[in-house]
């Protein structure tokens, strides 16, 4: 599929967001990170807000593709891979600048229905995927039969979101939570004996 002019604008938005954060960002900052002029950006998007709704939509499509790609041979491995994916840092993964900007956007959500709906989609997509992996693992006998898939998804998603917040607000390392959650999965969810065979 040929790249659309808007693709380049959304990529420039990502770069500008990492550089300036959300609150102070202007369409000029995005133009400065783009081959397109400010006028061209305004031709495609009426306002910074419209551009950001499109940006979040694009980000969501990308996110769901990545979540769908997370795989593992067993349900235990799939769950650990989802935790790993959600708390990855370094390499190609969005860094602290981007996470900081996303936290700013989260703090806008109570005032902005469009942002809130989109963030709810992100949240729900991960929760649904975790819930279905846990449910399948319980069904297969890999996870204990007293594990409730919905509650477990609730717990893991909340902890993952908290890890992102703490990474930004108090510079708390993501890898500590990754280890803690991996241990939680192994010791509290995996059924006795399943560790060996999985």
The residue within the footprint of a second copy, chosen from 35, 49, 68, 176 (CB under 8 A), is: 176
Closest by CA to 78, choosing from 147, 12, 116, 129, is 129
| Residue ranges in 46-169 assigned as alpha helix (H) | 48-69, 75-86, 96-108, 113-139, 149-169
The residue within the footprint of a second copy, chosen from 166, 182, 186, 198 (CB under 8 A), is: 166
Smallest distance from a second copy to CB 99, Å: 9
Question: Binding segment for a second copy among 10-18, 31-39, 131-139, 157-165 (CB under 8 A)?
Answer: 157-165
Of 136 and 168, which CB lies nearer to a second copy in the complex structure? 168
Smallest distance from a second copy to CB 127, Å: 10
Closest by CA to 75, choosing from 193, 187, 198, is 198
Burial class (CB in 10 A: 0-12, 13-18, 19+), 86: buried
Report 24-63 residues binding a second copy (CB under 8 A). Answer: none
Of 38 and 106, which CB lies nearer to a second copy in the complex structure? 106
| Cβ proximity of 75 and 142 under 8 Å | yes
Smallest distance from a second copy to CB 179, Å: 8
């Amino acid at each position: 599929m040929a790249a659309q002019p808007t693709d380049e604008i959304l990529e420039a938005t990502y770069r500008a967001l990492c550089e300036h954060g959300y609150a102070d960002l202007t369409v000029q900052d995005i133009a400065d990170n783009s081959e397109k002029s400010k006028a061209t950006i305004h031709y495609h998007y009426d306002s910074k807000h419209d551009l950001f709704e499109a940006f979040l939509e694009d980000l969501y499509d990308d996110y769901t593709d990545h979540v769908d790609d997370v795989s593992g041979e067993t349900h235990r491995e799939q769950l650990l891979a989802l935790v790993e994916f959600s708390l990855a840092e370094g390499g190609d993964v969005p860094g602290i600048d981007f996470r900081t900007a996303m936290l700013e956007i989260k703090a806008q959500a109570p005032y902005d229905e469009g942002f809130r709906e989109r963030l709810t989609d992100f949240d729900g997509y991960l929760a649904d995927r975790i819930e279905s992996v846990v449910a399948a693992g319980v069904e297969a006998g890999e996870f204990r039969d007293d594990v409730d898939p919905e509650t477990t998804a609730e717990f893991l998603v909340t902890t993952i979101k908290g890890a992102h917040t703490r990474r930004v607000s108090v510079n708390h390392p993501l890898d500590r939570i990754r280890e803690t959650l991996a241990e939680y999965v192994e010791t509290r969810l995996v059924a006795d004996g399943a560790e060996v065979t999985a």
